[in-house]
A and B are shown apart, each in its own frame.
Chain A
Amino acid sequence: MSPVRKPQVRVRYSKLGKLRFTSHRDMARIWERSVRRLQLPIAYSEGFSPRAKLSFGLALPTVFESQAEFVDLTFTEPVGVDALPEQLTEVLPQGITVTGGVVLEGKVASLQESVEATSWSLFVDGDLDELRTWSGDLLAADELLVTRERKGKSSTDDVRPAVLAVEVRPNADTEVPAAVEIYAELATKPRALRPLELLDIKSPDLTLKRGRRINQFVTPVGARLDPLEVGAAEALLDAEIAS
């Protein structure tokens, strides 16, 4: 029974450096305060304890960096996105940089619903050739049975379909003290394979020196898109239906 749809903006931001030790919940509070500092016309939820309408995507595990986090902001009146990244970056803590934004047109699925894959750089100390052999075997396998525990329940699943890509390469990031970068694309559905779970398949002793989310992907019309491209994708879909 929603009346007129309120204007929504989706922004992308990076979270790098010391800030990676903040949690997903911490980020929500940080964003709420930042939006209030800019006096943006943010919408609030109804009820006794109104909360600013900020809708985040899949939680980034604490201690991971990211180049591509997303948040949808719901406003009471239209807000332009041209100046928004710079304004937000100014009031957000150092280490968080807003790198883009789009006005969401029409009905757009939430980030939680629509993100189907995420890509990661996992920096580890290990032998490059050995890790390359491991990743080759991993991709060649038909089935990868993994027993995981979540919310106190243990279950065994085949996670091979969730491993979309793995590439092992020498670490070129001089900021990170690690020999090897494992680049991985992992599916989030039906049940996400977490980056640390991927490393556990290799060995529980493989220590992650630094982890960084590289991007997130939605596939509204079959083609894999950046969540910021989703407005354009909706337009494409409408055009297809019309033709």
Chain B
Amino acid sequence: MSSSLWDQLEPLLARVEKPARYIGCEDGAIEPEYTDGVVSWLLTYPDTYEIGLPNQGLQILYEILNERNDAVAERSYAPWTDLEAEMREHNLPLFSVDTHRPARDFDVIAFNLSSELVYTNVLNCIDLAGVPIRAEDRDHTHPIVGAGGHATFNPEPMAAFFDWVGLGDGEEIVGDVTAVVKAWKDSGSTDREEVLREMSKIQGVYVPSMYMPSFEEGVTDTPKLVAMTPRFSDVPEVVEKRTVADLADWPYPKNQLVPLTEVVHDRLSVEVFRGCTRGCRFCQAGMITRPVRERPAEQVRQMIQDGVRRTGYDEVALTSLSTADFSGIVDVVKATIDDEEMGCSDVSVSVPSLRVDAFTVDIAAELQRGRRSGLTFAPEAGTWRMRQVINKLITEEDLYASVEGAFSQGWRRVKLYFLTGLPTETDEDTLGIAELGRKCVEIGRKYTNAASVTVSVGGFVPKPFTPFQWFGQNTIEELNRKIYLLRDEVKKTKGLQMKWHDPKATFVEGMLTRGDRRLGPVIEQVWREGGTFQEWSEHFDVEKWDQAMADAGLPIEFFTYRHREEDEVFPWDHLNAGLHKDFLWHDWRDALNEVGLEDCRWTPCYDCGACTGYGIEHVVASATPPAGGSQGTGQDLARGHEVPVDLLARPSLSTA
């Protein structure tokens, strides 16, 4: 069934910004063949093409599905507001970019849910597809609408809109969902609940409509959630996340998409490991993706070589939550920059998410080709006390050594990421950010008068499945007070700048991330009022959210600012990211007592649950911690075993 909308879309494209976002045609794009009986997936990123295209998760699933005999997959992205207006005016539905097939014609529409502020865009995409936004209004002729990604670990505010969500790694889930949907299609059944009930039995798949929330009764205040109960006996009481045991089995993407137009990360990406056990208490990603699973260094090297040859990219990013922790980092980097055969002696390797230590700076120094403009570190908090609370155990010496390393090796700008609004944070802690910044400028001045340090400050959002899930988020007013306090202090130092995230957006993110099903109508109202692209400051509108909460009779205090009690039933308690709730509670108590927790990759297991619960283990090539990496381990590892930076010297770039 070929039904391309291209001919209708084409005349509209001449009238919109950056029309290349909508044409597909990327190297690596697949135009699948629709044979009888295949299950068709539309993988949708609910933000612009520029942001969505580089998303590795979506690309991995795109390839895995298209390799299957029983599935095909295409991609879609949220059209920008100008094209959306044209589409609505001309009755053109959401389409895939690969073959411009109408979204409504797919069996499954699956969204990548990376953050809370895209929720209204999800509704907009479903609506543009011509599909009822509420799951209960869909019938057997409609696509099955789902989502995956980090934000699905509390999907409750979106429960009314999703037929299903995937928890954890998607590689295996999509295959199992395909099989169930195919069997249902083949059976000719018109009972949608049948397929959803069957899907709910797949590990890692949560079907919200199979569960009923119950709330406190007889209370005058906003009632708390008491339980989430399965509606049928064969539906699991607790939905376990899915984890692939070994990344070596999943060398994807093999054909990374090469966009024709500019996107945010326009480079080759190779995922070197998944998961993180540094144990930073604010970091949801580190908690929900455990355990650490490293890709074999040889496979990484092969993926880089194949990718560079195929794409023509001159930059490769080694991605993970803390790439300097990859035990094969030195071998991989050396092999890459020495590889004459690859014909890529001018390929630069970038390591996002730098650790704060001198070793890491040395690696960066070896890697960064040409201009050394800026280097970014994330100490996250301004005082040692505060860093103990959040378990980001970077000493001031670590930071100063890193900054000294950066300036002494030619960098002129250093950017430091911080959070404010952290548990137990005092004004002294907040102002400590300015003090660290001031000292970093001082260090930089020894090397260059142009030394510049920027502190970038984000408001802290307590996230589900972290030790801080019990913490009441700072109010907008409190975050603003801290930011202005800090800003005034930062102003006193020449060469020190400050940037900050809008506390109003932080508030909305916080409200949604720990919300329950009562927030569904709020999200729907904001969307109906035109509140799309809330991640974009020019479109973000806090008043729409305030108004929608007021109209729904829901107090913001209850959902956002309230400290939760130890025995509080969370909206995500019937979902499991592997972490025992009592482990998180103890870690929360340890945080308040300023007690750190070591990295379990190199110290005995403390049974957080992520491995033991699923019978899996860390896959780490090295039994010893990386050189110089005291951060987060609580151990003195400065210059630990090996500092092989001289191995990393890259051939000088030929500019002849």
A32 to B24, CA, bound (A): 20
Min distance, Cβ A87 to any Cβ of chain B, angstroms: 13
A62 to B19, CA, bound (A): 9
Among B22, B25, B655, which residue has its beta carbon within 8 angstroms of that of A50? B655
B24 contacts A18, C-beta separation under 8 Å: yes
Q: Does B13 lie at the interface of the complex (its beta carbon under 8 Å from any beta carbon of A)? A: yes
- 5 nearest A-B pairs in the assembled complex, by CB-CB distance: A33-B312, A48-B371, A37-B312, A21-B19, A36-B312
A218 to B313, CA, bound (A): 34
A139 to B381, CA, bound (A): 72
Residues of B within 8 A of A112 (CB): none
* Contacts A48-B371, A63-B14 given; does A19 touch B312 at CB 8 Å: no
B25 contacts A19, C-beta separation under 8 Å: yes
Residues of B within 8 A of A39 (CB): 343
A63 contacts B656, C-beta separation under 8 Å: no
The interface centre, meaning the residue of A26, A30, A36, A208 with most chain B CB atoms within 10 A of its CB, is A36
Q: Does B309 lie at the interface of the complex (its beta carbon under 8 Å from any beta carbon of A)? A: yes
B370 contacts A49, C-beta separation under 8 Å: yes
New A-B pairs, 16, CB < 8 Å, besides A45-B655, A93-B26? A18-B24, A19-B23, A21-B19, A22-B260, A32-B312, A35-B312, A36-B313, A36-B344, A37-B309, A37-B311, A47-B370, A48-B370, A50-B370, A62-B20, A76-B654, A94-B25
A45 to B6, CA, bound (A): 40
Residues of B within 8 A of A91 (CB): 312
Interface residues of A (CB under 8 A from B): 18-19, 21-23, 25-26, 29-30, 32-37, 39, 43-50, 62-63, 76, 91, 93-95, 208-209
Min distance, Cβ A148 to any Cβ of chain B, angstroms: 20
Min distance, Cβ B329 to any Cβ of chain A, angstroms: 25
Among A18, A33, A37, A49, which residue has its beta carbon within 8 angstroms of that of B23? A18
Among B20, B310, B343, which residue has its beta carbon within 8 angstroms of that of A22? B20
Q: Which residues in window 313-348 of B have CB below 8 A to A?
A: 313-314, 343-344, 346
* Contacts A44-B655, A48-B370, A93-B260 given; does A21 touch B312 at CB 8 Å: no
Chain B residue at minimal CB-CB distance from A39: B343
Q: Does B612 lie at the interface of the complex (its beta carbon under 8 Å from any beta carbon of A)? A: no
> Could you list 8 A-B pairs, sorted by A, with CB under 8 Å?
A18-B24, A21-B23, A26-B260, A29-B262, A35-B312, A37-B309, A37-B311, A44-B653
Residues of B within 8 A of A19 (CB): 23, 25, 260
Min distance, Cβ B590 to any Cβ of chain A, angstroms: 47
Min distance, Cβ B304 to any Cβ of chain A, angstroms: 14
Residues of A within 8 A of B370 (CB): 47-50
Residues of B within 8 A of A47 (CB): 370
A22 to B490, CA, bound (A): 43
Residues of A within 8 A of B653 (CB): 44, 50
Q: Mark B1-30, 1 if CB is under 8 A from A, else 0.
A: 000001000010110001110111111000
A48 to B261, CA, bound (A): 24
* Contacts A21-B20, A33-B313, A62-B19 given; does A76 touch B656 at CB 8 Å: yes
Q: Does B258 lie at the interface of the complex (its beta carbon under 8 Å from any beta carbon of A)? A: yes
Residues of A within 8 A of B314 (CB): 36
Residues of A within 8 A of B656 (CB): 43, 76
A43 to B655, CA, bound (A): 7
Residues of B within 8 A of A21 (CB): 13, 19-20, 22-23
Residues of A within 8 A of B13 (CB): 21, 63
Residues of A within 8 A of B310 (CB): 37
Min distance, Cβ A2 to any Cβ of chain B, angstroms: 13
Residues of A within 8 A of B19 (CB): 21, 62-63
Min distance, Cβ A117 to any Cβ of chain B, angstroms: 25
The interface centre, meaning the residue of A21, A32, A35, A37 with most chain B CB atoms within 10 A of its CB, is A21
A33 to B27, CA, bound (A): 11
The interface centre, meaning the residue of A19, A23, A37 with most chain B CB atoms within 10 A of its CB, is A37
B25 contacts A18, C-beta separation under 8 Å: yes
Chain B residue at minimal CB-CB distance from A25: B262
Residues of B within 8 A of A43 (CB): 656
Residues of A within 8 A of B18 (CB): 23
Q: Which residues in window 172-199 of B have CB below 8 A to A?
A: none
Residues of B within 8 A of A50 (CB): 346, 370, 653, 655
A33 to B260, CA, bound (A): 10
Min distance, Cβ B258 to any Cβ of chain A, angstroms: 7
The interface centre, meaning the residue of B24, B260, B314 with most chain A CB atoms within 10 A of its CB, is B260
B655 contacts A93, C-beta separation under 8 Å: no
Min distance, Cβ A212 to any Cβ of chain B, angstroms: 13
Residues of B within 8 A of A25 (CB): 262
A94 to B27, CA, bound (A): 9
Chain B residue at minimal CB-CB distance from A177: B7
Residues of B within 8 A of A36 (CB): 312-314, 344
Residues of B within 8 A of A18 (CB): 6, 23-25
B655 contacts A26, C-beta separation under 8 Å: no
A26 to B24, CA, bound (A): 14
Min distance, Cβ B574 to any Cβ of chain A, angstroms: 46
* Contacts A26-B261, A49-B371 given; does A93 touch B25 at CB 8 Å: yes
